[in-house]
């Protein structure tokens, strides 16, 4: 069963360019085993509100790549943000 993680937080407006650049640099690395995709999502109404959504092939793959998730968390922490982290099981898709 696929697992989706959401790491989210409010980035100060003064740090948005740096935050987006750091994410872009992270994506230049080879995708970790078990990761299907990762997306940087910005709230349409609150420009400093970001979510990094990552899709994993399974909970086991996510558990193996715990450090990769730490890198995503560190993106927020470098901007002085303690992000919220949530994981969901993919029940169905189309």
pLDDT per position as a tens digit, 8-47: 999 999 999 999 999 999 888 888 889 999 999 999 999 9
E strand residue ranges, 11-90: 35-42, 49-56, 84-89
Architecture of domain 3-89: 2-Layer Sandwich (3.30)
pLDDT per position as a tens digit, 42-71: 999 999 999 999 999 999 988 887 755 678
In the chain, where the domains are located: 3-89
| Whole-angstrom distance, CA of residue 11 vs CA of residue 80 | 8
Q: pTM of the prediction?
A: 0.89
């Amino acid at each position: 069963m696929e697992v989706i993680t959401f790491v989210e937080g409010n980035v100060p407006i003064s740090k948005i360019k740096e935050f987006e650049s750091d994410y872009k640099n992270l994506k230049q690395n080879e995708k970790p085993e078990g990761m299907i995709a990762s997306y940087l999502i910005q709230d349409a109404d609150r420009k400093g509100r970001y979510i990094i959504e990552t899709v994993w092939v399974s909970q086991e793959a996510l558990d193996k790549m715990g450090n990769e998730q730490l890198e995503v968390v560190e993106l927020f922490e470098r901007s002085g943000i303690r992000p919220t982290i949530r994981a969901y099981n993919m029940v169905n898709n189309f």
